[in-house]
Amino acid sequence: MQLTKQHIQSLYDFVEQHKVEYYDLQTELVDHLANDIEQIWKKEPNLTFEQARYKATIKFGLKGFSKFVSQREKTMKKENWKRFRHHFVAFFSFPKIMITLFFTAIIYLGFDMVADKYSFLVYSITVIYSIAFIYALYLTIKLKVRKRKTGKRWLFEDIVIKSNSVLLFTVLVQPYPFYNYLLRNITINWSITIQLLSTFGIVLISLLFYITLWVIPPKFEATIKKHDIAQ
């Protein structure tokens, strides 16, 4: 006996009723349950769909699907971190290190060309943060609009939105008046070492935002498109 489309939809409804809100996790659970139910039917073909489903869910224990969801959240966060680390390291490996070195040289030459180096440092960071803020806000709104249109929540989207929220908060609480005060009152002896450290700081901040906002989210977008095509 094989599962029908109605059975599959019933499994989606079932896992959603048991507080599995994320569509990617729902799909994973439905696949597991569907396979288990078909195996159970091979051994006990007289069982009804509900009886076979009950047997298939016993292995999840008293906590039901909550433990599964918790484990998948932890796993996806780890995968997200590994993905970030992979892309970050790539910018210090050939061939992308050429881009990193070029950007580093541009920033360093910028420091070398201006008289007020501290202002250049602060304004450079401010511009980078502002661009990241605008794009993070756009990305967050885009994901929320799609969630309303489709009615589907994806775990990785929530992770992206939460990451963007932290980023937005970080930008908003930047003490710009304090920076302005320092610009007017602090004196720094701009040695080559300080100039290099400031340059690397700008490069690292730029890479952090670029990978977090422009590199990783499209990977997840591709996953959604593949799923939509499969549907």
Rounded-to-integer distance, Cα 215 and Cα 203, Å: 16
Please state, for a pLDDT cut of 70, what percent of the chain lies above it. 84
pTM of the model: 0.76
Amino acid residing at 201: G
Rounded average pLDDT over 115-123: 85
- Whole-number pLDDT of residue 54: 92
Tens of pLDDT, residues 133-170 = 888 888 888 888 888 888 888 888 787 777 766 666 66
The reported pLDDT for the residue numbered 155 is 86
Of 169 and 10, the one with more pLDDT: 10
Q: Residue 167 burial by CB count (10 A; 0-12/13-18/19+): exposed, middle or buried? A: buried
| Distance (Å, whole) CA 223 – CA 213 | 16
* pLDDT for residue 171: 59
